Every structure is written in structure tokens, then in C-alpha cells.
Amino acid sequence: MANLQKSHQGIKDILSKLDEDDVIALASTVTQGLLKVASVDEAVNGILKHSPTLVSILRRKIVTKEILFQYLDENNVSFKSPASKNDLIDRIIEYWNESLSQTVLDEPVSSDVKETSPGESEQVISQLADQFAKWFYTMLNSDEGVGTEHFYADAKLKIAIVTDEGCDLKEVEDNPEDICSALRTLKLQHQLYFNPNFTNEGIQGRIDPHGLVMVFTCGTLHVKDAIVGVFEQVFSLARDPFCDNNWKIKKTELNLRSKNSTIGQPQICDSETSDMLAIAPTTR
């Protein structure tokens, strides 16, 4: 398991290099202005608590390449030069020895669901599904969007937008750049905010017969302060042995349906993807 104390202390050390006002502003950004803090310590704790992964903190624009360099230098951690910001982040993560409990897509994980007991396997996949969903929709809702590095070269995307006028279908294959562009365009064109149902009924994980990890999510779609519809999405995740065994997206299907009124949070059992839940025993 990773050294949680080292990684969390590392984030605190890095954030300490920022101006106090910048740290408080970052806490407000991470929590969408919902967290009111009275001190820098409260701001740092809020950033750690509400960020989907530690890597997402390091990737913030306010955390510059120079700050990351200073942190590595102060801890006598060597790295290959010249180095980009991403190279420095990778070196920091290696130094911290991150594992599944801190991140899903960005670093290697040490757990192998095929070698654990059934109970442990369920817990691992459930945790992965939760953390993946938090990471993905935080990135999707952000200005940065989801990066191409998180998709396989032959990844597939299918988007279906269902309205009273009919169904608009878009498919992208074998082009991570076009996949990321399609997701970003969808969000910006309709000014959408994706709000997943972070309960047992809204996020679930499975293992398919081929060993792929399937993540099922659903939630509401918002435009400013109005709920305009619901969404359902399914992901196929697989480790990439040529990229430090990181998890990457192999395939994803996204259904969006407009609704004039939504009562309660959407649930996977009510979604159009619910028939896919039979591929493996429940992990929730």
C-alpha cells in the first residue's frame, strides 16, 4: 500500500509554496464555492478532501512547474532533464508510491482483482468505480476536460442525445483526440454540468468475462440552476502494460435524455444500460 502520510504531507508542502490567497481560492474552486474556510489549514484540508485525486491537485495551473521542481529538489529526488510539468508530476507520484486508494487512472495500482478473495475483489472494484466516477466527472465539468492520455489508441465513444424530436447519435473510434473533443464540445455547446448520483444506486462496478472493469454511472444534467435531463454512461477500463500498468478507457457509451421534470436521483436499475448489469455479480 502507498504511504498516505507521505503523499498528503507532500501536497501540503507543495501548497505551502503558494500565496495564502491562492490556496483559499483553490479550495473555493475545488468545492465549487461551497466550502467557506477561515484559514489556510482549512483550505488545504478542503482541497485534499474534495479533490478526486492527488494528481488533479498537481495539475492545477496555479501549481507551476517551478513549484514542483522546488519540491523535488528539497526532497533530494532526482529526475531526468529536460522535464515537462507532466514529467515532474510523474516523478513526484513515483516518489510517493501512489496506489489505488489515491488514484484510478493516473498511476499504477498494486491490487490485482484476479488474485484476491471474492470479498476483497468486490471492495477493490467498488472503490475503483467510485473514485473513477469522481475523477472523470470532475475533469469533464472542468475547463481542462478529459485528456487524451486516459484513452487507448483504439478507444471508442458513443453519444446518444434523446429529445422529443428524436435521437442524435455520434460515434468516434480509434482517435482519442476526437473523443476528447467530442466530449468537450458536447459540454460547451449545451452548457451542461454533469451531476452523478454518488450512491450505491448511481455508481456500480463489474468485471466482464474478459477481465475488463465496467463502470456504470447515472445522474442529472444541469444548465446553470436548472435540471434539464438525465444521463447514463458505461465505461470499459483496462490496464495498459505499456504505460506503467495504468488504467485507461477502452470504450464508453453516454446516453443523454431531456426531461422537463426530474423526481429524485436517477438510478442505474431504471436506466437503459441496466441490462448490462448481468455480466458479473454485483460489487456494491
CATH number at residue 275: 3.10.450.50
Task: With respect to residue 275, please indicate whether it lies within any of the assigned structural domains.
Answer: yes
| 85 and 121 part of one domain | no
Looking at 65, 96, 127, the residue that finishes a domain is 96
Please tell me the total count of domains within the chain: 2
Sole residue written with cell 491490487 = 111
Mean pLDDT over all residues of the chain? 79
Task: With respect to residue 118, please indicate whether it lies within any of the assigned structural domains.
Answer: yes
Sole residue written with cell 436521483 = 265
Task: With respect to residue 142, please indicate whether it lies within any of the assigned structural domains.
Answer: yes
| 258 and 159 part of one domain | yes
Cis bond upstream, residue 209 (ω within 30): no
pTM for this model (two decimals): 0.56
| 79 and 129 part of one domain | no
CA separation for the pair 238, 43 (Å, rounded): 35
- Domain hosting 203: range is 114-279
Task: With respect to residue 82, please indicate whether it lies within any of the assigned structural domains.
Answer: yes
Instruction: State pLDDT tens for residues 242-272.
Output: 776 778 899 999 999 887 544 455 544 455 5
Task: With respect to residue 103, please indicate whether it lies within any of the assigned structural domains.
Answer: no
Which pLDDT belongs to residue 103? 44
| 149 and 229 part of one domain | yes
Task: With respect to residue 123, please indicate whether it lies within any of the assigned structural domains.
Answer: yes
213, 157, 214, 212: which is closest to 180 by C-alpha? 157
Task: With respect to residue 199, please indicate whether it lies within any of the assigned structural domains.
Answer: yes
| 192 and 123 part of one domain | yes
| 73 and 122 part of one domain | no
Instruction: State pLDDT tens for residues 50-68.
Output: 887 778 889 899 999 999 9
Confidence of residue 5 (pLDDT cuts 50, 70, 90): low
Which pLDDT belongs to residue 262? 47
| 142 and 196 part of one domain | yes
Instruction: State pLDDT tens for residues 173-223.
Output: 999 999 999 999 999 988 999 999 888 778 988 887 677 899 999 999 999
Cβ contacts of residue 170 below 8 Å, gap of 6+? 157, 158, 159, 160, 182
| 63 and 148 part of one domain | no
CA separation for the pair 151, 247 (Å, rounded): 9
CA separation for the pair 168, 150 (Å, rounded): 26
CA separation for the pair 144, 72 (Å, rounded): 25
Please check whether residue 98 is in contact with residue 107, taking contact to mean a CB–CB distance below 8 angstroms: yes
| 157 and 233 part of one domain | yes
Please check whether residue 230 is in contact with residue 208, taking contact to mean a CB–CB distance below 8 angstroms: no
| 119 and 255 part of one domain | yes
| 267 and 200 part of one domain | yes
Which pLDDT belongs to residue 154? 94
Sole residue written with cell 507532466 = 86
Which pLDDT belongs to residue 166? 81
| 79 and 171 part of one domain | no
Amino acid of residue 199: T
Please check whether residue 203 is in contact with residue 196, taking contact to mean a CB–CB distance below 8 angstroms: yes
Q: What is the dihedral of CA 3, 250, 211, 283, to 10 degrees?
A: 70
Looking at 67, 96, 125, the residue that finishes a domain is 96
By the 10 Å C-beta count (0-12 exposed, 13-18 middle, 19+ buried), 52 is classed as buried
Task: With respect to residue 259, please indicate whether it lies within any of the assigned structural domains.
Answer: yes
